[in-house]
Structure 1
Amino acid sequence: MTVKANGFLQGCLPEELKKVLRSVASELGDVIDDMDSIQVVPLKGAMTNEVYQINWPLNDKRDLFRKVLVRIYGEGVDLFFNRDDEVQTFECISKHGQGPRLLGRFSDGRVEEFIHARTLSAADLRDPDVSALIASKLREFHNLEMPGPKNVLLWNRIRNWLKEARSLCILKDAKEFRLDALEEEICVLEEELTRDDQAIGFCHNDLQYGNIMMDEETRSITIIDYEYASYNPVAYDIANHFCEMAANYHTETPHILDYGAYPGLEERKRFVRNYLSSGVLFGPPHILTLKGPT
């Protein structure tokens, strides 16, 4: 996937974005007299978008600045998620007081509240104190009431991705990745893992360290980037977070997970205990009981 060339690196903001920024500034009680006074700072870490910190001065001395985040949508991401659904999800989560506020929109992206917090690292996920905070925030996220049907999206999404992979792969690659066998595996997993009493909640579905921010002073956690968010079994979201503990996206092979780093049984139990001890239960406590490996 790619990101549209928009001239940001040359310091030239699109006219549409300038108009939106002026409107955002006005809503915040600011005035941008000189667009040349705006500072553009590229931010690293985003995988499906380009993100920039935008600063404009709040006084004549230019020693105080307002900060917002501008997100430029990547191209080709429609293979993985629906952008319109993602924008609707972002707006709704923002209204719930979760994550950054939506400040403005333009054709290629949006303007968001700048979160004054640091993005977590792979090592942070293994810190027991930080992990407990994440578990509590994830439980809060799962309890969000979102519009639309509360149907499990997981299996249809995997099948859609498989369909896209088949259409894009040459025969040699399809055989190497055993794409023909995956449909059967999906059906087996769906049958084995689907339960009538499973807890369904609004899941993030991509809870890797780059999508979690923490305020160092208040120790509050903010979950960001909702491209894949949907209703799913909450146990799946927790299990996916465990898999993300085996990932490090700041290496030369970010797509290869190190399952030697997968959390052990006691670490997984601790996370689930912290999760269950916060918020309101979805149903009987046995629903999210963690069993040991067989």
Structure 2
Amino acid sequence: MGDVQKRVPHVRVVVDENDVERGAMRILEQIRPRWEKDSVEFKLLTDGITNKLVGCRPAEAEESETVLVRIYGNKTDLLIDRKAETRNFILLNKVDLAPDLYATFDNGLAYRFIPGNTLDQETVRDPHIYRLVAKRMAKLHKVKVKGEEHPQPFLWDKMSSFLELVPDVFSDSKKNERYRECIMSKAQIEGELRELRNALKNSDSPVVFAHNDLLLGNVIYTQSEDSVTFIDFEYAAFSYQAYDIGNHFAEFVGIGTDLDYSLYPDKELQTDWIRTYLAEYHGREPKEEEVEKLYVQANQFVLAAHLFWGIWALIQAEHSYIDFDYMEYADLRLREYFAKKSVCALFNGSS
């Protein structure tokens, strides 16, 4: 399996975002040449707010035969190292933590469909399911990468590079007006980033190989196998353990701009999740002080998650062709950043 996955073919095709079926068929002609062209069914999947995703399979075929073709969003190469993403996909597939990667193409990937349902605001709170997620994340965090004995977290440099990509003036006048009215300036964001980095610089949270984007749509629960699978490794990289966990907790509130922050998990849920995670991560039952420490760290690093995705959304607001209100999303994430900051002991000594 490992040798096969090292030879992932590259198809020299650019798939037009506005004509995904024609482009996807050109990919399939290379990786599924026996499929009858006229029998292939396409289903556009719309959960993503970065890329377009289409499922492809012959009519009457089993669901497990579906190939997913993911087309990168416009200018997302500014945000994501696509070669690193492919390496991560192959690495994690070898340890059974990612689906099979069938091919890359000039602006996307084709990979195996995992039957099941993505999580939603209810299923992510189901104790049975969230414990599966906690165990899966712990397994991911234990993955070792050859040549990376002392890895550095991607977080601060990535956020700084993102901030440089935020335009001073948005090309769309209406977006620019909304930015001026609702969002703090780049200089203010830079100040917040500097302050947050200084506040967290002494954290002893371990640096692990992390997903870094475990939103609800990136977790699939397969009931028939009673298992969860993570997908979309665009931001997979070495990061703080507590960041990956805190970032996931922030996603309990929903997808897109339909966010309900009253659904942010309470301490009882978080500590149960963390206790399950640590038992898998360490291979033993954790001490209560270990659970409490990681709980505190995760809720500190959730500030970094809100700031990260707020900056990300401002870049997308300028470049993405996807029909999504990125400016509204940036506003929501940055408002929640300040709400969390106002009660964070790092900044005001409160509990």
Q: What TM-score do the two structures reach when normalised by structure 2? A: 0.69
* Aligned twin of 2:280: 278
Aligned residues: 272
Identity %: 28
Secondary structure of 2:47's counterpart equals coil
Q: Give, in angstroms, the shift of residue 172 of structure 1.
A: 8.4
Name the amino acid aligned to 1:247: G
Deviation string 1:45-86 (CA, Å, 9 cap, x unpaired) is: 1222221221126xxxx5667322222222121232222221
Residues 174 and 279 (structure 1), Cα distance of their counterparts in 2 relative to 1, 3 Å cut: same
Q: Give, in angstroms, the shift of residue 174 of structure 1.
A: 5.6
Residues 172 and 122 (structure 1), Cα distance of their counterparts in 2 relative to 1, 3 Å cut: closer
Deviation string 1:85-140 (CA, Å, 9 cap, x unpaired) is: 21221122122221210112222322211111211112111112211111111111
Choose from 36, 44, 47 the match for 2:46.
44
Secondary structure of 1:92's counterpart equals helix
Structure 1, 269-278 or 104-113: larger mean CA deviation: 104-113
Name the amino acid aligned to 1:96: V
Which aligned pairs between 1:35-184 and structure 2 lie closer than 5 A? Answer: 35-56=37-58, 66-146=65-145, 149=148, 150-169=151-170, 173=179, 176-184=183-191
* Aligned twin of 2:341: none
Contact persistence 1:20–1:105 (CA under 8 A): no
Contact persistence 1:199–1:287 (CA under 8 A): no
Q: Give, in angstroms, the shift of residue 287 of structure 1.
A: 6.3
Structure 1, 48-57 or 124-133: larger mean CA deviation: 48-57
Q: Give, in angstroms, the shift of residue 197 of structure 1.
A: 3.4
Choose from 261, 268, 281 the match for 1:259.
261
Structure 2 residue 5 is matched with structure 1 residue 5:
no
Q: Give, in angstroms, the shift of residue 14 of structure 1.
A: 6.0
Name the amino acid aligned to 1:144: V
Contact persistence 2:67–2:113 (CA under 8 A): yes
Question: CA–CA distance in 1 between the matches of 2:169 and 2:88?
Answer: 29
Residues 15 and 248 (structure 1), Cα distance of their counterparts in 2 relative to 1, 3 Å cut: closer
Q: Give, in angstroms, the shift of residue 166 of structure 1.
A: 4.3
Question: CA–CA distance in 2 between the matches of 1:199 and 1:181?
Answer: 29
Name the amino acid aligned to 1:152: P
Contact persistence 2:155–2:239 (CA under 8 A): yes
* Aligned twin of 2:30: 20
Q: Give, in angstroms, the shift of residue 6 of structure 1.
A: 5.5
Show structure 1 runs of 5+ residues with no match.
24-30
Question: CA–CA distance in 2 between the matches of 1:73 and 1:171?
Answer: 28
Question: CA–CA distance in 1 between the matches of 2:147 and 2:54?
Answer: 31
Computed over aligned residues only, the root mean square deviation of the Cα atoms, in angstroms, reads 2.9
Contact persistence 1:4–1:74 (CA under 8 A): no
* Aligned twin of 1:28: none
Secondary structure of 2:281's counterpart equals coil
Contact persistence 2:154–2:237 (CA under 8 A): yes
Secondary structure of 1:74's counterpart equals coil
Choose from 228, 237, 248 the match for 1:221.
228
Residues 64 and 278 (structure 1), Cα distance of their counterparts in 2 relative to 1, 3 Å cut: closer
Q: Give, in angstroms, the shift of residue 224 of structure 1.
A: 0.6
Show structure 2 runs of 5+ residues with no match.
1-14, 171-175, 300-349
Contact persistence 1:155–1:190 (CA under 8 A): yes
Contact persistence 2:17–2:71 (CA under 8 A): no
Residues 168 and 206 (structure 1), Cα distance of their counterparts in 2 relative to 1, 3 Å cut: farther
Question: CA–CA distance in 2 between the matches of 1:124 and 1:84?
Answer: 33
Secondary structure of 2:166's counterpart equals helix
Residues 93 and 107 (structure 1), Cα distance of their counterparts in 2 relative to 1, 3 Å cut: same
Contact persistence 2:120–2:254 (CA under 8 A): no
Structure 1, 228-237 or 178-187: larger mean CA deviation: 178-187
Name the amino acid aligned to 1:124: T
Name the amino acid aligned to 2:215: Q
Secondary structure of 1:245's counterpart equals helix
* Aligned twin of 1:268: 270
Structure 2 residue 237 is matched with structure 1 residue 238:
no
Structure with a larger share of its residues in helix: 2
